[in-house]
Amino acid sequence: MKRILITGGAGFIGSFLGERLLSEGNDVLCLDNYFTGSKKNIAHMLSNPYFEAVRHDVTMPFFAEVDEIYNLACPASPIHYQYNPIKTVKTSVMGAINMLGLAKRVKARILQASTSEVYGDPKVHPQTEDYWGNVNPIGLRACYDEGKRAAETLFVNYHRQNHVKIKIARIFNTYGPRMMPNDGRVISNFIVQALKNEPITIYGDGSQTRSFQYISDLVEGLIRLMNTGDNFTGPVNIGNPGEFTIRELAEKVLMLIPESRSEVIYKSLPEDDPMQRQPDITLAQKELKWSPVIPLDEGLRHTIDYFRKIIKP
């Protein structure tokens, strides 16, 4: 049994990760300030004596004896990370410092949930881990993009200087049950709009592309990365290389919700919105022996089933 700390453990990704680690016989400690996390996501685990939830903000130090740390704490959707951009930067940077300090003290292995947003609006396609990115440091998205880039810098230097055992995962668009209906992400937006018979809103002309991975594929990738040898630190892309235009995604959602009376409308593209996003997962396939297995149509069905239960037309 390992004692594993998950920051952001009541969030969309964190709750599924905690569930999986608990099922494998580990002792899981969930930290969350519940800004975007929810107690509903972890309620079914609270009765398990090997699961513990603590309300805590990672911008403040935390002390515990743990073997591994998954640092997931940070609002990840534009609506939430732009709500308080200074706090978003603090969460990425100070949260990394506090968790790295903890890992250093107790000699724990620590994984940073970084993001494909470190690549910005990429000039290289698909994106490989050696690409430095094209990020606007003063744009509306910079609080998240640059915060995550700074966190990667901190992780690498704690490793070089203090020999902390680190792992860095660059997570690409992930979806599934427990996404927040109002998080502003494209899949939840489209599904909620279709279920409510509201217009499906596409920003730009819909030709921009994204790659979507189902939550169970991501959790598998994160655990495999954590369990690699000390010589492999990453960063490594964890995402589904299947590439779809936003227009194609809207068509799929409408096809899978045939009763919807929604029509597609177009609005102007937000500032610094990337035109292309597709991971090169060659490194993950080699080092983690990992590839995603859930196709988009199957994952969308599971996600739509979840939203049907919580959305009233």
* Total domains present in the chain: 1
Where b means 16+ CB within 10 Å and e means fewer, 253-289 reads bbebbeebebeeeeeeeeebebebbbbbbebbeebbe
Catalytic residues: 144
CATH of the domain at 147: 3.40.50.720
267 inside domain:
no
Residues 6+ apart with CB under 8 A from 293: 217
111 inside domain:
yes
Residue bearing the bigger pLDDT, 270 or 94: 94
256 inside domain:
no
184 inside domain:
no
Q: What is the pTM of this model?
A: 0.94
Mapping DSSP to helix (H, G, I), strand (E, B) and coil, where does residue 11 land? coil
- 123-161: per-residue pLDDT in tens? 999 999 999 999 999 989 999 899 999 999 999 999 999
**Where does the pLDDT of residue 313 fall: very low under 50, low under 70, confident under 90, or very high at 90 and above?**
low
272 inside domain:
no
Kindly state the average pLDDT of the residues 255-282.
Answer: 88
- 46-60: per-residue pLDDT in tens? 999 999 999 999 999
C-alpha 105/C-alpha 190 separation (Å) is 45
Cα 126 to Cα 53, 133, 167, 253, 308: the distances in Å are: 38, 12, 22, 25, 34
Kindly state the average pLDDT of the residues 111-126.
Answer: 93
273 has a pLDDT exceeding 80: no
167 inside domain:
yes
115 has a pLDDT exceeding 80: yes
Question: From edge to edge, which strands make up the β-sheet containing 51-55?
Answer: 51-55, 27-32, 3-7, 68-71, 109-115, 166-171, 236-238
Question: In the prediction, which pLDDT does 272 show?
Answer: 62
**Beta bridge partner(s), residue 203:** 267
- Domain hosting residue 153, numbered range: 3-172+214-240
76 inside domain:
yes
Mean pLDDT, the chain, as a whole number?
A: 94
311 inside domain:
no
